[in-house]
């Protein structure tokens, strides 16, 4: 028999779309007591007897909340990355932590990456300027067919991107720290599958390079000045993963000097991104404010993931996707 649990939801800022909260409420249902944290109110009374915390994006929890979470059996992050989450502190408090890994947002990220590639291929910023000036027939766009796509990392979002890029007739390569098996290469239409030592070669051969990595000490600035210079002067960089994977100063200089064709950026080192950020002023940059994963499908799938873990705890089972071990 399932136990009735008390759930504390840490919602996103008030200016976010309320579908995130609606899907959580529908996912948890009436089986459990769901509380919504009032950030302006004292913390300790709100966390009394709470069994599970649902933390939007892993960025809403504070150390004060962790200190008050004495009865919490699971801190569920409603997101994939946890580089903004103080995992070491939660470990010290012995609070189990889980996330919603890449498969729950992979489709949204892949679609965004395709959108960026299309916008850059059709020189969207120039097109919009010409449209407003009453010009037509310029500039000349490119087709994705027969262009080479290099995937840096071959997790779930990269695989979903490969599925879509294959439909566009692109030639696809991937590099990952794990072996990409022959069956996987055939399934996703990879012409080349390599390991980290093959990264520079793949980058230099690609017309589009798309990043699909977690941010850590090894991947920070993996696209530095040296690697950006390896790319073709007509090539474009796509980043829907984490901003600090890219040396933004080096990217700006490379684009400004015409040694790179363009960039599609959903993420930045400092967020929210400064509207006056110099990358945003370049005509060959298309960007969004960390929205690639913000879709109705992602919201529903993450809510379902959280609901599944709630049910597992209520049934006396271990949660899935723990990241604190």
Q: Known catalytic residues?
A: 242, 271, 290
| DSSP annotation of 28 | H
On whether the CB atoms of residues 55 and 78 are closer than 8 A, the answer is yes
Residues ≥6 apart with Cβ < 8 Å to 107: 160, 295, 297, 298
Angle at CA 255, nearest 5°, toward 267 and 220? 40
Q: Across-strand partners of 211?
A: 152, 239
Angle at CA 305, nearest 5°, toward 99 and 186? 85
What is the distance between the alpha carbons of residues 322 and 192, in angstroms, rounded to a whole number?
Answer: 32
Q: Sign of the C-alpha dihedral, residues 277, 282, 283, 289?
A: negative
Q: Across-strand partners of 210?
A: 151, 238
For 121-179, give the DSSP string. Answer: HTTHHHHHHHHHTT--S-SPP---TT-EEEEES-SHHHHHHHHHHHHTT-EEEEE-SS-
| DSSP annotation of 196 | G
Alpha helices, DSSP H, located in 168-233: 182-188, 199-205, 225-230
Q: Which residues in the chain belong to E strands, given as ranges?
A: 6-10, 33-36, 52-56, 74-78, 97-98, 148-152, 171-175, 190-194, 208-211, 236-239, 262-265, 285-287
């Amino acid at each position: 028999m399932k136990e009735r649990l008390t759930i504390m939801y840490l919602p996103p800022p008030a200016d976010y779309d309320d579908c995130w909260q609606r899907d959580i409420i529908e996912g948890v249902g009436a089986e459990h007591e769901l509380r919504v944290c009032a950030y302006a109110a004292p913390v300790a009374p709100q966390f009394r007897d709470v069994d599970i915390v649902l933390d939007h994006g892993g960025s809403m929890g504070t150390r004060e909340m962790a200190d008050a979470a004495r009865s919490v059996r699971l801190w569920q992050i409603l997101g994939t990355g946890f580089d903004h989450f103080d995992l070491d502190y939660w470990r010290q408090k012995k609070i189990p932590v889980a996330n919603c890994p890449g498969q729950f947002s992979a489709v949204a990220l892949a679609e965004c990456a395709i959108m960026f590639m299309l916008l850059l291929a059709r020189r969207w910023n120039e097109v919009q300027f010409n449209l407003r000036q009453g010009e037509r027939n310029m500039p000349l766009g490119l087709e994705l067919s027969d262009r080479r796509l290099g995937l840096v990392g071959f997790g779930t979002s990269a695989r979903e991107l490969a599925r879509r890029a294959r439909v566009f007739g692109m030639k696809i390569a991937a590099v990952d720290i794990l072996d990409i098996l022959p069956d996987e290469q055939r399934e996703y239409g990879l012409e080349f599958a390599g390991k980290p030592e093959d990264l520079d070669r793949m980058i230099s051969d690609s017309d589009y390079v798309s990043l699909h990595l977690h941010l850590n000490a090894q991947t920070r600035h993996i696209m530095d000045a040296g690697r950006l210079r390896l790319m073709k002067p007509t090539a474009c960089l796509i980043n829907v993963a984490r901003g600090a994977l890219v040396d933004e100063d080096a990217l700006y200089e490379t684009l400004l000097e015409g040694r790179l064709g363009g960039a599609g950026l959903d993420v930045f080192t400092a967020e929210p991104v400064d509207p006056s950020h110099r990358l945003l002023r370049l005509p060959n940059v298309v960007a969004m404010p960390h929205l690639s994963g913000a879709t109705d499908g992602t919201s529903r799938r993450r809510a379902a993931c959280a609901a599944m873990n709630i049910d597992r705890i209520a049934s006396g089972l271990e949660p899935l996707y723990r990241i604190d071990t």
